[in-house]
Structure 1
Amino acid sequence: MRLTPRRDSADPTHRQPHLRRLGALAVALVTVLAGGAMTDRGTVDAQAATGPTGGDHSGHAYVLSPEQEAAALALQLAPVRGSEFRADCSSKGRSPDDPIVRWGQAGTSHVHEFFGNRTTDAYSTLTSLASGTTTCNPSVDLSAYWVPTLYQNGVPKAPEHVTVYYQGITDRLNVKPHPRGLKMVVGNPLATSADQNPAARWSCRGYPEASRDFMSCPAGSRLETYLDFPTCWDGKNLDSADHKSHMAFGIGGAGGYCPSSHPVPVPRLELLITYPVTGGGLSLAGTRNGANVTSAPGYTFHGDFFNAWNAAELQRRVTNCIVAGYICGNDGNPIQQ
């Protein structure tokens, strides 16, 4: 008999995911209704954002097409019912590097918080990551993950905990593992308003509200953010010039399909990052008016993923957890209750 516990059984650090989804629903509905976005099978390409260039982080700038924005929002609301595995990670430190957008250019990016592979720097390659170790459990996940550093009153705040979920959302029965060496980014760090970055979501642990900008969490709570990556791959490219065009969001929410331009469904990679932070005075590392700063608003949140999983272990988890419909623990085995 298959037993798939609710996430609050599998994840004691986060006991009210349904409240978070309700909060996200409110944000999503307002955005979609305001923009009149509708999904369409034929239109999936996102468009490069206009904004400051030069020595900035413009490689991350990305405004989704209306169809892809609607798809991304629908996937944010997708419930997970017995089809996921996870890695639990801690920060390995921060640096002004970005091995995807500014590869080989040490110290030229805004400051990022890195977790996962301990060797990650501006010169990281699949070969270097494969030779490294990780801050994640399981140790077979040698991937590199990074997001902009959070600041409170000018002081950097490392995450208290990072959970990386791999979930069966789009075309679950046909999901393939992320190919080794895949790079992808999500979010718009050059957003000038909350409506320009549907990837950004902030909430307070134990409260249903969610926002694209920072929330001031009360004492006894914690600041949290969720970041969802695309679920469809073009089946050819491990990267693209803008680091995004080789990926797309699946159409139709939970149980939906991949567009013909990106026919390969992959697990939804979702980062749940918890910070030991309450109250205000919050900002992000980012790029504003062409300069790297530590004062960017919450709606500029974004993230990067460089896949260096052990290929056999990733395949095992996709087959035994996602396709088979189980919630699995860090060891890639089903959690029983």
Structure 2
Amino acid sequence: MCSGIRTNLHFPTCWDGKNLDSPDHQSHIAYPTAGPATFDTDGGACPSTHPVKIPQLMFEVVWDTTQFNDKNLWPEDGSQPFVFSMGDTTGYGQHGDYVFGWQGTALQTAMDNACFGATCKGLTTQTTATANKCSVPKTVNENEDGWITKLPGTEA
């Protein structure tokens, strides 16, 4: 049974060393030669075209799906019923953008001190439990809970 859907977006960790942006907003950065860095690997060396290693950014999203653990709610053929709103059933349709939000010299301090996880000299950190208490008030009145029978915009 599912307790949730979790997705991790790993951003590139190699920079060309020259451009802060590019017309396509991505060719100035690249993944290491062995692929994206993960929890147990740094992805290996950077390609020669992007020789500068930069800090890893990862965006993680978890949706609580326990209210749908009852298999009677699932399709009759037993297939998993979860579909992203754009129609993706694979989970590969995720997207994330990094918006710079470091205050003052905090990012440079983190980079200078090889800041990883909870080991961060010079910066204040918080526990996952504290971070999970963060919430943003609703700004749009819409029904966001429950089950839909068809994707919006599709034929009946």
Report the TM-score, using the length of structure 1 for normalisation.
0.28
Q: 1:226 to 1:326 in 2, by over 3 A?
A: closer
1:309 to 83, 102, 105: 102
* Greater share of residues in helix: 1
Shift of 1:303: 1.6
Q: 1:317 to 1:255 in 2, by over 3 A?
A: same
Per-residue displacement from partner, 1:292-312 (whole Å, max 9, x unpaired)? xx4233222222112232250
Structure-2 separation of matches of 1:248 and 1:224: 24
Quick one: which amino acid aligns to residue 87 of structure 2? Answer: S
2:118 corresponds in structure 1 to 327
1:240 to 4, 16, 22: 22
1:270 corresponds in structure 2 to 58
Shift of 1:224: 1.1
Q: 1:313 to 1:244 in 2, by over 3 A?
A: same
1:249 to 21, 27, 31: 31
Quick one: which amino acid aligns to residue 225 of structure 1? Answer: T
Quick one: which amino acid aligns to residue 238 of structure 1? Answer: L
Quick one: which amino acid aligns to residue 312 of structure 1? Answer: T
Residues paired across the two proteins, number: 106
Structure-2 separation of matches of 1:245 and 1:332: 31
Shift of 1:225: 1.0
Shift of 1:255: 7.0
Report the TM-score, using the length of structure 2 for normalisation.
0.55
Report % sequence identity: 38
1:1-337 equivalences under 5 Å are 217-218=1-2, 221-252=3-34, 254=42, 256-278=44-66, 279=68, 280-285=80-85, 294-297=86-89, 298-322=91-115, 327-328=118-119, 332=123
Unaligned runs of 5+ residues in structure 2 are 35-40, 69-79, 127-156
Structure-2 separation of matches of 1:261 and 1:270: 23
Runs of 4+ in 1 over 4 A off after TM superposition: none
Per-residue displacement from partner, 1:33-86 (whole Å, max 9, x unpaired)? xxxxxxxxxxxxxxxxxxxxxxxxxxxxxxxxxxxxxxxxxxxxxxxxxxxxxx
Shift of 1:333: 5.1
Q: 1:307 to 1:332 in 2, by over 3 A?
A: same
Quick one: which amino acid aligns to residue 305 of structure 1? Answer: Y
Quick one: which amino acid aligns to residue 301 of structure 1? Answer: Q
Tell me, yes or no, if the aligned pair for 2:32 and 2:43 is still in contact at 8 Å. Answer: no
Quick one: which amino acid aligns to residue 258 of structure 1? Answer: C
Structure-2 separation of matches of 1:248 and 1:236: 13
RCO higher in 1 or 2 (8 Å CA, sep ≥ 6)?
A: 1
Quick one: which amino acid aligns to residue 61 of structure 2? Answer: I
Q: Between Structure 1 and Structure 2, whose CA radius of gyration is higher?
A: 2
Structure-1 separation of matches of 2:99 and 2:84: 22
RMSD: 2.9
Structure-2 separation of matches of 1:267 and 1:250: 12
Per-residue displacement from partner, 1:77-121 (whole Å, max 9, x unpaired)? xxxxxxxxxxxxxxxxxxxxxxxxxxxxxxxxxxxxxxxxxxxxx
Quick one: which amino acid aligns to residue 296 of structure 1? Answer: D
Tell me, yes or no, if the aligned pair for 1:320 and 1:326 is still in contact at 8 Å. Answer: no
Tell me, yes or no, if the aligned pair for 2:10 and 2:59 is still in contact at 8 Å. Answer: yes
Q: Secondary structure at the match of 1:315?
A: helix
Quick one: which amino acid aligns to residue 10 of structure 2? Answer: D
1:12 corresponds in structure 2 to none
Tell me, yes or no, if the aligned pair for 1:321 and 1:333 is still in contact at 8 Å. Answer: no
